[in-house]
Amino acid sequence: LAKTTQPISMDSYEGQEVNITCSHNNIATNDYITWYQQFPSQGPRFIIQGYKTKVTNEVASLFIPADRKSSTLSLPRVSLSDTAVYYCLGQTRGFKTIFGAGTRLFVKA
């Protein structure tokens, strides 16, 4: 199983760019890296997914280097409402999804 490691928590201020890095040293060739966001008392919400290089959507960017042993979620100009837990997932072949403890991002005014 692809195990991921990410910081337990991060603090930021409104308007700043936030980068959360995730390590996944044993990622399999066919695995994709997926990031989810979770607010208190809600289910996780899909943010972005990628295989390699860079992926960008209206919410975030995902950078995956050539060796794919890590990835970085980039949130541009965060606001207070971006305070949440962010999960990096390394999925095995098939459909089991392994969540780690996630990174708790706290955005301050």
Q: Which of 5, 9, 26, 45 binds another protein (CB under 8 A)?
A: 45
Q: Which of 58, 66, 67, 94 binds another protein (CB under 8 A)?
A: 94
User: Does residue 100 interact with another protein by CB under 8 A?
Assistant: yes
Q: Looking at residues 63 to 82 of the shown chain, list those that interact with another protein (rule: CB under 8 A).
A: none
Our CB check for another protein shows the closer of 90 and 107 to be 90
Amino acid at 11: D
Q: Which of 86, 54, 59, 89 is nearest to 75 (CA)?
A: 59
Q: How far apart are CA 65 and CA 67, in angstroms?
A: 6
